[in-house]
Structures are given as structure tokens and as C-alpha cells.
């Protein structure tokens, strides 16, 4: 500790009696010294700094520990005991940078933290450049919706058969997750088939539109096996018949919210889209894109702009999931509140944009 004593006079007194601020100042100075020479330090030097810093860090303020964790997160020779101490911290500001990036943390430690800590720690861990199956198994089992979506979208994450089974099972109730999993390059044909079999039609279409052209053939094959046919009706829609039905209703002055609600509740997708197109003045290709999107916001805006009730908007939300499936109660309540807060004038401005846009252009994120 000779070097540290020369930089921090009275270091022993700070370790034994220093308040959090004095300890934080000492940690900053010693970490500055370490970082300045980290590239040339030998293991003995690293052990020296490790011992000093681990004796100081536990009683420092959160901000000091957080700043230290951020500085150590990218170092391949960061003091291992210090990293282990910081990465187990309950405060995500401290553990987060290390969980996301630190190459010093081994698989056993990551598995332990994944089993014990909360969703913020799992979310941070899901961003690591690489994740092994023992880690992702725990993340998929314990993670909430945001965590599982994040890890599924991480190209450096590797999944066991058990992990993939968990992802696919959860994707059955989460269209965003299904599309994310379906785009993974390491998904096997049987796994893709299982994923599609659990997905509703609108999710299948969304996945088909999201993948590169060369992957669409695999989706077609899987869907053909599922349906037992040589073609794939799930990605081909013919709105002509539905538009004829809607035109008849219009001429009979019967195209109204009641007709729209009946179509939606019966899960008549084409008729619902055609009715919405006629009632809103938005081209049916654009309506199709809005209905098959990842978010409920377009449905809320359409509903507000054509002045339909929440009950009909709710039916439109259920239409996207398919027969026998309902949105999560929390998602429904959040959508209801957003619909009530939505100002009609704002909805009309968005509707005007949709009425004039090219339906072949990609939808805004």
C-alpha cells in the first residue's frame, strides 16, 4: 500500500474512521491511479488495488460506487473482488454497468445474480455482448415481458432447447416477442413451426413482413405444414369480397359502429378493415398495416377520429390477437386511459396524414 499512502495521506485512518464522503474521495483518487496504469499492471499490482478499494467502497455513497462501476465496466483486468462486490449491489446504478459490459464477471456469478436479483438487474444483464444458455435459461424463466423481449433480441444470446421452449411458450401471448424470436438466425425449423403454430394470424403476417426475403420461404413451409396445404393463407389477404360487403352496407345506410363492432367481435378481419377504411377515408392497405402493427396506439387514434366507443375499440384490439385470446388486463386498462385522454383534434391530424400517405411506404416507428 506504499503507492496508495503516497497519494492518499492518512489512508488507514480513512479506511477505519472516514465518513462516506472522505471514503468516496479516496476511492476516486485511487481509481484514477489504477486506471492511469491499468494497461501495464501485473496481477500483484491489481491485487493491491483490489484490497485497498474493497476496504473503502462498502461505506461510500451510491454516486461514488456508481461512478466507479462505470469506469471499471469495460476493463478486462479490473480488480476481480471489487467487481464482484459492486455487481452484487442491489442498486442498479451500481450493478448495471458491470452487468451489461464487464468481461471480468464469470458465468457462475451471472447465473447466481440472475436467480437472486430483480427485473432491473435481469434487464441490464440481457444487454451483455454474449450470454450462455445457463444464463438465458434463468432470464427466460424469471424475466418479465420487457426482459424477455430484450434478451430475445440480443444476437449474442444463446439459448438451450429449454430456453427456446420458454421463449416460444411466452411468445404465444406476446406478439412483439413472437416477431423478435422468429427473426433469430439460430431458430431451427421445428422451433419456427412451433412458434407459428402458437401465433395468431396477425402476428404471422407481421413476422413474414419483418424477415428478409430468404427467410420467408421457411415461414411458408412451416405454415403449409401446420395447415396441411401447399399454400399459406396466413400471409395472403383478399379484401375485394369484404369491400363489396361494406359497399352494400354503405348503400343501405347501414355502415355504422354497430356493423363495425359485429365484424370485429366475429373476428372477420377483412370486413373489419374494409369497414374502417370506408368510415375513416384511409386506404385499406394502410388500415391493414395499422391493424397488424406492434402497438395499440393506431387503433386508439382510428377509434377517436371516427368517434366510436371504447367497447368497439376494445373489440378491435381483441381482433388483432385472434379468436379465444384476450389482451392482458393491464394492457387493456392502459389503452382505455390513453383512449380517454386522446384529444379528438390530435387524432384527426394523424388521420389526415394516414389519408394521404402511400400505403406501400413503411409505417413510422
Count CB neighbours of 212 within 10 A: 7
Rounded CA gap, 248 and 278, in Å? 12
Give the model confidence (pLDDT) of 30-42 as tens digits.
877 777 776 777 7
Give the model confidence (pLDDT) of 103-137 as tens digits.
999 999 999 999 999 999 999 999 999 999 999 99
pLDDT of the residue at 319: 84
For the cut 60, the answer to whether the pLDDT of residue 296 exceeds it is yes
Domains in the chain: boundaries: 1-102, 255-356
pLDDT of the residue at 252: 92
- Where b means 16+ CB within 10 Å and e means fewer, 106-138 reads eeebbbebbeebeebbbbbbbbbeebebebbbb
Mean pLDDT of the chain: 85
For the cut 50, the answer to whether the pLDDT of residue 5 exceeds it is no
| Prediction pTM value | 0.62
**Band of the pLDDT at 6, cuts 50, 70, 90?**
very low
pLDDT of the residue at 365: 42
Give the model confidence (pLDDT) of 20-65 as tens digits.
666 667 777 887 777 777 677 778 887 887 888 887 777 788 888 8
Check: CB of residue 49 under 8 Å from CB of residue 27: no
Give the model confidence (pLDDT) of 216-239 as tens digits.
888 988 988 887 654 444 455 678
pLDDT of the residue at 330: 79
Amino acid at each position: 500500500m506504499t503507492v496508495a499512502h503516497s497519494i492518499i495521506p492518512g489512508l488507514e485512518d480513512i479506511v477505519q474512521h472516514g465518513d462516506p464522503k472522505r471514503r468516496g474521495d479516496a476511492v476516486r483518487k485511487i481509481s484514477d491511479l489504477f486506471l492511469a496504469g491499468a494497461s501495464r499492471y501485473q496481477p500483484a499490482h491489481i491485487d493491491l488495488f483490489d484490497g485497498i478499494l474493497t476496504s473503502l467502497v462498502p461505506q461510500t455513497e451510491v454516486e461514488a460506487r456508481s461512478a466507479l462501476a462505470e469506469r471499471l465496466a469495460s476493463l478486462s483486468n479490473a480488480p476481480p473482488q471489487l467487481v464482484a462486490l459492486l455487481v452484487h449491489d442491489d442498486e442498479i446504478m451500481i450493478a448495471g454497468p458491470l452487468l451489461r459490459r464487464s468481461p471480468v464477471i464469470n458465468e457462475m456469478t451471472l447465473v447466481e445474480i440472475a436467480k437472486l436479483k430483480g427485473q432491473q438487474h435481469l434487464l441490464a444483464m440481457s444487454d451483455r455482448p454474449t450470454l450462455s444458455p445457463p444464463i438465458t435459461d434463468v432470464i427466460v424463466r424469471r424475466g418479465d415481458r420487457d426482459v424477455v423481449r430484450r434478451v430475445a433480441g440480443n444476437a449474442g444470446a444463446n439459448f438451450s432447447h429449454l430456453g427456446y421452449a420458454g421463449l416460444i411458450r411466452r411468445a404465444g401471448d406476446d406478439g412483439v416477442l413472437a416477431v423478435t424470436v422468429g427473426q433469430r438466425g439460430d431458430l431451427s425449423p421445428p422451433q419456427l413451426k412451433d412458434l407459428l403454430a402458437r401465433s395468431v394470424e396477425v402476428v404471422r403476417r407481421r413476422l413474414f413482413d419483418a424477415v428478409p426475403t430468404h427467410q420467408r420461404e421457411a415461414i411458408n413451409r412451416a405454415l403449409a405444414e401446420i395447415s396441411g396445404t401447399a399454400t399459406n393463407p396466413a400471409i395472403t389477404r383478399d379484401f375485394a369480397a369484404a369491400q363489396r360487403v361494406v359497399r352494400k352496407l354503405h348503400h343501405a345506410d347501414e355502415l355504422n359502429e354497430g356493423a363495425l363492432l359485429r365484424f370485429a367481435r366475429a373476428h372477420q378481419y377483412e370486413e373489419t378493415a374494409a369497414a374502417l377504411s370506408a368510415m375513416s377515408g384511409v386506404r385499406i392497405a394502410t388500415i391493414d398495416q395499422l391493424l397488424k402493427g406492434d402497438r395499440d396506439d393506431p387503433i386508439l387514434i382510428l377509434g377517436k377520429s371516427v368517434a366510436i366507443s371504447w367497447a368497439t375499440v376494445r373489440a378491435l384490439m381483441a381482433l388483432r390477437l385472434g379468436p379465444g385470446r384476450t389482451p392482458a388486463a393491464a394492457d387493456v386498462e392502459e389503452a382505455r386511459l390513453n383512449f380517454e385522454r386522446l384529444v379528438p383534434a390530435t387524432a384527426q391530424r394523424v388521420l389526415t396524414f394516414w389519408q394521404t400517405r402511400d400505403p406501400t411506404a413503411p409505417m413510422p416507428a
